[in-house]
Amino acid sequence: MRKTYTTAFKAKVVLEVLREEHTLSQIAGKYEIHPNQITRWRKAVVEGILAVWNSISANRDELIADCRAARTVLCDCAAIDAELAELSREIEVVTDLSRKAIHEIACNADDQRVLNKRLNVAAGCATFPLLAGRKPLSFSSVQMIIIKTEAKLQFL
């Protein structure tokens, strides 16, 4: 039965051969592999490296263009990051102004509730039994009742 070797194992053996720290025979004996087998593996690796090198050389201009495009994209990212930081600052300002506006609206709403309470009390005066049976009040009369009621409420 033939022995099969993993690609990682073949690469390990070939790297040892290429380092030239030991002879081919020593490496073959260490791993119990025939020297011709190691020579075939080394030849395949060298041919593969040359093919890759030739491919890189042939596509040199395209690779340089890709690198320039990547650099442009990275530079654009820096501009985008700066714009994002500026927008974040603007959002903080708008958020702060919104909080202040909401607080002011809430204060005005509290003031409005107090005013509505006063007006409801004043409107209630128009329905007191003392006023029942009289002719309907004019607008100016209602205003006078409201003013008098507010004056009384201020003393409470």
- Tell me the domain boundaries of the chain: 1-58
Note the pLDDT of residue 132: 45
CATH architecture, range 1-58: Orthogonal Bundle (1.10)
Note the pLDDT of residue 127: 44
- Cα–Cα distance between 34 and 95 in angstroms, integer? 76
pLDDT digits (tens, 9 = 90+) for 83-111: 888 888 888 888 888 778 777 777 776 67
Q: Cα Rg for the chain, rounded, in angstroms?
A: 46
Name the token pair of 151. Answer: 């004056």
- Given a contact cutoff of 8 angstroms between Cβ atoms, the answer to whether 119 and 146 are in contact is yes
Cα 14 to its chain centre, rounded Å, is: 47
The residue among 49, 37, 46 whose CA lies nearest residue 10 is: 37
DSSP assigned state of 136: P
- Cα–Cα distance between 54 and 60 in angstroms, integer? 10
- pTM here is 0.40
